Amino acid sequence: MSETRPAIAEIVDLLSKKWVMRIIWELRDGAMTFRELQEACESVSPTTLNQRLKLLRTALLVQNEKDQGYHLTDLGYDLLVVYRPLGAWAERWQEQTQKKTT
């Protein structure tokens, strides 16, 4: 079904949707309830949050087992690991972009 599309393209599509990266980030320290996630994500609307959680569940990045709340799968954690260097890059980026105003 999705054989023709490269994996990287699909995941970039998914990660480009609003709140997706943020949700993964918020789940970094363990499970959260639906409403906890909602608050953490600047009170994102439940409609959108639920849509995103569905996407993330079918993408096997997030799970929701009974009484455990939403939490990352192993695959989801690995993605966080991949993203880790982005933090350092972002610091440098902010320095550069603030040279203009400061």
Which tokens belong to 94?
């902010």
50 binds DNA (CB under 7 A): yes
Nearer to its own copies, 17 or 71 (CB): 17
Nearest to 71 by CA among 85, 81, 91, 57: 57
Nearer to its own copies, 38 or 73 (CB): 73
47 binds DNA (CB under 7 A): yes
Residues contacting 77, CB < 8 A, separation 6+: none
Under rule CB under 8 A, which residues in 6-25 are in contact with its own copies? 6-8, 10-12, 15-22, 25
Under rule CB under 7 A, which residues in 73-102 are in contact with DNA? none
Cα–Cα distance measured from residue 23 to residue 66, given in angstroms and rounded to the nearest whole number: 19
